[in-house]
Structure 1
Amino acid sequence: MPVHIVEGDLLDQPVEAIVNAWNRNIIPWWLLLPQGVSGAIKRRAGLGPFRELARVGPMPLGTAVVTSAGRLPYKAIIHVAGINMLWRASQHSIQDSVRNALARAREQGLRSLAFPLIGSGSGSFNEERALELMRHVLDAEAGDLEVRVVRFRRG
Structure 2
Amino acid sequence: MNVTIVDGDLLEQDVDVIVNAWNRNVIPWWLLIPQGVSGAIKRRGVLQPFRELGRLGALPLGQAVETTAGKLPFKAIIHVAGINLLWRSSERSVRDSVRNAIALAKDRGYRSIAMPLIGAGSGGGKPERIHSIIEDELTRCDFDGEVRIVRYRK
Instruction: Quickly name the TM-score band, shorter chain normalised.
Output: over 0.9
Residue identity in the other structure for 2:136: H
Gapped regions of structure 2 (runs ≥ 5): none
Residue identity in the other structure for 2:65: V
- Please give the TM-score of this superposition, normalised by the length of structure 2: 0.97
Q: Is the 8 A contact 2:10 2:18 kept in 1?
A: yes
> CA–CA distance in 1 between the matches of 2:130 and 2:34?
22
1:139 paired residue number = 139
- Please give the TM-score of this superposition, normalised by the length of structure 1: 0.97
Map 1:1-155 to 2 at 5 A. Answer: 1-44=1-44, 46-154=46-154
Residue identity in the other structure for 1:36: G
> CA–CA distance in 1 between the matches of 2:7 and 2:54?
30
Instruction: Give the SS at the match of 2:20.
Output: strand
Q: What is the CA distance between 1:139 and its match in structure 2?
A: 2.2
Q: What is the CA distance between 1:45 and its match in structure 2?
A: 5.1
Gapped regions of structure 1 (runs ≥ 5): none
> CA–CA distance in 1 between the matches of 2:142 and 2:128?
20
> CA–CA distance in 2 between the matches of 1:110 and 1:124?
30
Number of residue pairs the alignment of both structures matches: 154
Residue identity in the other structure for 2:68: S
Considering only aligned residues, what root-mean-square deviation do their CA atoms show, in Å? 0.9
Instruction: Give the SS at the match of 2:115.
Output: strand
Percent identical: 63
